[in-house]
Structure 1
């Protein structure tokens, strides 16, 4: 009968070692969407500081670089802390609570009194931006790799979850990226409206940010679970012996430099003439959403890094479309579509490369240290963010940008166009080169085979010597 047949199919599905339930995928993706929303909101941070608070781009760049000095310490400390954690909720899962602190700090960051003195505004920008990125986002990002390894059974399962999360994030991010420009067009340069609008976003995003903590348990074990707590000498030795995590380090710096050096908000406000129209380019991302589901099947035929290289080449092509578009909305929409497809592989699958680095650590005789690997990538992301925002601020200041003006001089318009077009194209090409040089994937079959043999030998030895 049909019912038993469906039941057998369901049983077979659940017995699949790569199976992940729909509810688990949704909870995992909800938190990922919350983090993506954080990145999108901070994409308008420079515009807020220069145009609403009235600080100069050069001062903003200096403040952000100062914040990144703190980041250089907090990422490593966060990785060390998470790899030493043992609680009834698990090792990485408790740090999901940082999502609440992150969204409270984001709202406070966009609620700085515009009437305060320049010194006070600068101090609050530095303090709150550091709280968002160096404390709360650091903990939330650093626990990602270990939490992923402990929550899902295999590389294929992680790929499936990442693809599903990419689908949810893409759909959700499109909605958010439509809402944000429209809301900020309403806010204009009014500080009270900025605060109100960011609160409107922060509350639901904080709720979504807690979904993993509430519904996704740590179900796997790793060789590090029962080991003595990790020490800093062990961390430094592992980082010294793993060249591949440093390739990812450089790629991640470039990735976040690309995300933060761009001037999309400035471009639509001063060149297109309407910040709200930026939402149109976000809508076309809907067409690209199904492409993320093609990545796991493509991984069976191509190396993941090859897929990522192709994506970066598409991003470079999109930047060239933007270059010739000017204020032409159809061309801007076309470029956005190409870019939306291009960013998918690296954005949603880089976590797999980081877990591969942990596997390499184990093969080299070290602890896996998933959290430390995640901390390295998180530190790189912060460096890329800081350098990108600082460089963009310095670049705009050098070309006479003035956020208090309703129309910018020709020199500032030139700078905005450069940050929106050819600068991202160059960065995307550098990322493609870095991914081409990442060769760990070529060695993974042999590494996994040798590790399986070692584990089998260890189990046999343990069975022979029960004492």
Structure 2
């Protein structure tokens, strides 16, 4: 028996309602729907690492734009916020488009080709000629930044939830691949986070060197980005697969009736606000005095990687939202350590490691909460709309990123930051320290408060039982019992409604 993360002990062969798999000819562990092969784990994780690398390198774009292109930080923040607001339109359109897709490759899988366009656009974004007039630079920056985020990153994110639901038949399988991806991505992210500051130290403020370095990074990342398409097929059949194509009226009805996805939306805004309001690169360049030292802090993050493997076992005893809340409180502690650190590398290392542990649950498991929202849609009588649910979360990420970049730019500009100076005035140093330490701590506390309103997990055992009974009555689910059946309070006491 395995304990379902949605509540209750269920047979290891259980398949969740609405996600019945094709008949499996294999015997042994390959016939177990919880089993995930190594090629699938590696292919899934390689693409995730490529997308994570995109986020990491975009985190340095503000530094590139202010110090290399000579952009005013407040103007830069405004341009990126405007781009992110435009993303709101493309996210819902992308979700609608993916949920209507039916091809010989599958429904979500064809959109993996967006990863190629993503990395080509990123290289172009970091290759804007520094000698262009300010207006031309601003226009080109806006167009390329919008292309990266509103088109290619949007498609790459919007297909994630549906692809997950169609590739893995149970939450246990999703938890397993997510935990492995967490390990794989954490190692890869550390390697990339070590390489990037060293490359940027080499590039300095020279635009040609920036372009060369980003190209050297973009080529292997584009290859990794296509690994999921190669190794992971859609193997789960949903009843919705054969239904009529989804309409905007159905989308709006589901969004209207699902309050839980809007809590996830707020959580996503805050998460990405926190990620983008920070000023680590500025902190190491102007306060520590060497941006290359950021590499060693990143290398030490390898120490926190094993912690991600503790999440699936914890999900058997605690609600995922409670695990995420605990993680955010750990992040607050880590930011307090950073506040006290100053230029002390040991304290900077300790604070960063604490934050690294705290961010793991939300970073790698939020997709499970989104799939739960799709299950809630079905329970309410709507289409599951995994891609639309994923698009809402993706939109929240864009809004949070835009707000974070705009707020950071405005904050730095208001306190006298000048990218042309080798040393910043005391007022700008104060702003950099605030963005690096106590402002992220306040945002983490807001995330804790937000998650206190998320109660869907308490309802899931009954929801899954109702769906299983409904499908059995309709003759749809004639196969194995539904994951999340009658709860065994000895297994998951925190998940009982």
CA distance in 1, matches of 2:476, 2:444: 49
CA distance in 1, matches of 2:195, 2:216: 11
Q: Higher mean Cα deviation, 297-306 or 430-439? A: 430-439
- Say whether residues 1:242 and 2:246 are aligned partners: no
Relative to structure 1, is the Cα distance of residues 14 and 124 closer, same or farther in structure 2, using a 3 angstrom cutoff?
Answer: same
Structure 2 match to 1:439 = 455
Aligned-partner SS, 1:284? helix
| Structural RMSD (CA) | 1.2
Contact 1:96 1:140 in 2 (8 A): yes
CA distance in 2, matches of 1:411, 1:23: 52
Match of 1:118 among 131, 134, 140: 134
- Say whether residues 1:417 and 2:429 are aligned partners: no
Contact 1:163 1:296 in 2 (8 A): yes
Match of 2:353 among 323, 337, 357: 337
- CA apart distance, 1:12: 3.3
- Say whether residues 1:99 and 2:115 are aligned partners: yes
CA distance in 2, matches of 1:228, 1:350: 29
Relative to structure 1, is the Cα distance of residues 410 and 166 closer, same or farther in structure 2, using a 3 angstrom cutoff?
Answer: same
CA distance in 1, matches of 2:144, 2:194: 26
- CA apart distance, 1:460: 7.2
Structure 1 match to 2:474 = 458
Match of 1:299 among 315, 319, 325: 315
- CA apart distance, 1:139: 0.3
- CA apart distance, 1:15: 2.9
Structure 2 match to 1:165 = 181
- CA apart distance, 1:62: 1.3
CA distance in 2, matches of 1:224, 1:284: 46
CA distance in 1, matches of 2:325, 2:366: 12
Structure 2 match to 1:146 = 162
- Say whether residues 1:390 and 2:392 are aligned partners: no
CA distance in 2, matches of 1:13, 1:312: 36
Q: Give 4+ residue runs of structure 1 displaced > 3 Å after superposition.
A: none
CA distance in 1, matches of 2:477, 2:270: 46
- Which whole-Å deviations, capped at 9, do the CAs of 1:144-166 have from their partners, x for residues lacking one? 00000000010110011001000
- Which whole-Å deviations, capped at 9, do the CAs of 1:283-305 have from their partners, x for residues lacking one? 12111001111110110011111
Contact 2:154 2:394 in 1 (8 A): yes
CA distance in 1, matches of 2:187, 2:409: 31
Structure 2 match to 1:225 = 241
Aligned-partner SS, 2:422? coil
CA distance in 2, matches of 1:154, 1:460: 17
CA distance in 2, matches of 1:461, 1:226: 15
Match of 1:405 among 421, 439, 448: 421
Match of 2:63 among 47, 50, 65: 47
- Which whole-Å deviations, capped at 9, do the CAs of 1:160-207 have from their partners, x for residues lacking one? 100100000000000000000010011000000000000010000000
Unpaired segments ≥5 residues, structure 1: 1-9, 463-467
Structure 2 match to 1:69 = 85
Relative to structure 1, is the Cα distance of residues 460 and 412 closer, same or farther in structure 2, using a 3 angstrom cutoff?
Answer: closer
- CA apart distance, 1:69: 2.5
- Which whole-Å deviations, capped at 9, do the CAs of 1:333-365 have from their partners, x for residues lacking one? 000110110110000000000000000000000
CA distance in 2, matches of 1:15, 1:88: 24
- CA apart distance, 1:231: 0.7
Unpaired segments ≥5 residues, structure 2: 1-25, 479-497
Aligned-partner SS, 2:238? coil
Give the 5 Å matches for 1:11-410.
Answer: 12-410=28-426
- CA apart distance, 1:138: 0.1
Contact 1:223 1:367 in 2 (8 A): no
- Provide the aligned length of Structure 1 versus Structure 2: 453
